[in-house]
Amino acid sequence: MFKINSPLKVTVGFNKKKQKNVEFLLNLNNFRNTFYRVLNNAKVQYKIDIQGQLEGVEKLKRCVMVYTVFKGDNRRFDIGNIASIHQKFFEDAFVEYGYLPDDKYTNIPMVLYRFGGISKDNPRVEIEVFNLDDEYEVKRFKDLTKDTIDTFHKERKRKK
């Protein structure tokens, strides 16, 4: 298992008039409303941004991925709006760099999105990759999913 810290936004250009970077928020709402060339720039920059974190990672045949969203504020949001774009960009980069043969369902049969909490100092999406050909990692993934479900049930009971 390894973990990647993915930023919630990437720099896609520079505005000369305002003298500042133009940033792209990695979420589904921006994705569907953005010009395709800007999307391509965002995807290329995302790939560059995570490249250093992938050094030393072993090549995999099959894996499970867990996307945990840590927001920088208390505003409500849909986990899928953020995690889905990270999933798309990360899995494409993971395949392009040669760590996985393909990102089809036979290579990544399960993906899990989770809320990790509020992190004002370091908003991010943590991406955990579990090798399905390693029994120890499969056990760790099972423990993680059980803990996630148990935490959800405890919070539900507490609110009643």
- Identify the pLDDT of residue 37: 87
Mean pLDDT score of the chain:
91
Highest mean pLDDT: which range of 14-18, 28-32, 121-125: 121-125
Alpha-carbon distance of 64 to 41, in angstroms, equals: 27
> Is the pLDDT confidence value at 6 over 80?
yes
Alpha-carbon distance of 31 to 142, in angstroms, equals: 32
Helix 79-96 vs helix 36-51: crossing angle, to nearest 10: 70
Q: What is the pTM of this model?
A: 0.89
Alpha-carbon distance of 120 to 123, in angstroms, equals: 6
Q: What is the CATH number of the domain that holds 118?
A: 3.30.1330.70
> Is the pLDDT confidence value at 53 over 90?
yes
When divided into structural domains, the chain yields a total of 1
Alpha-carbon distance of 63 to 100, in angstroms, equals: 9
**160: confidence class by pLDDT, cuts 50, 70, 90:** low
> Is the pLDDT confidence value at 61 over 70?
yes
Alpha-carbon distance of 29 to 27, in angstroms, equals: 6
- Identify the pLDDT of residue 11: 87
Q: Is 14 helix (H, G, I), strand (E, B) or coil?
A: strand
The better pLDDT of the pair 89, 35 is held by 89
Mean pLDDT of 31-52: 91
CA triple 122-125-130, angle to 5 deg: 130
**128: confidence class by pLDDT, cuts 50, 70, 90:** very high
Half-sphere exposure of 7 (CA within 13 A, CB side): 16
Mean pLDDT of 14-20: 83
Residue 70 Cα distances to 10, 33, 46, 51, angstroms: 16, 24, 18, 21
Q: Which domain holds residue 12?
A: 2-159
- Identify the pLDDT of residue 141: 92
Mean pLDDT of 67-75: 95
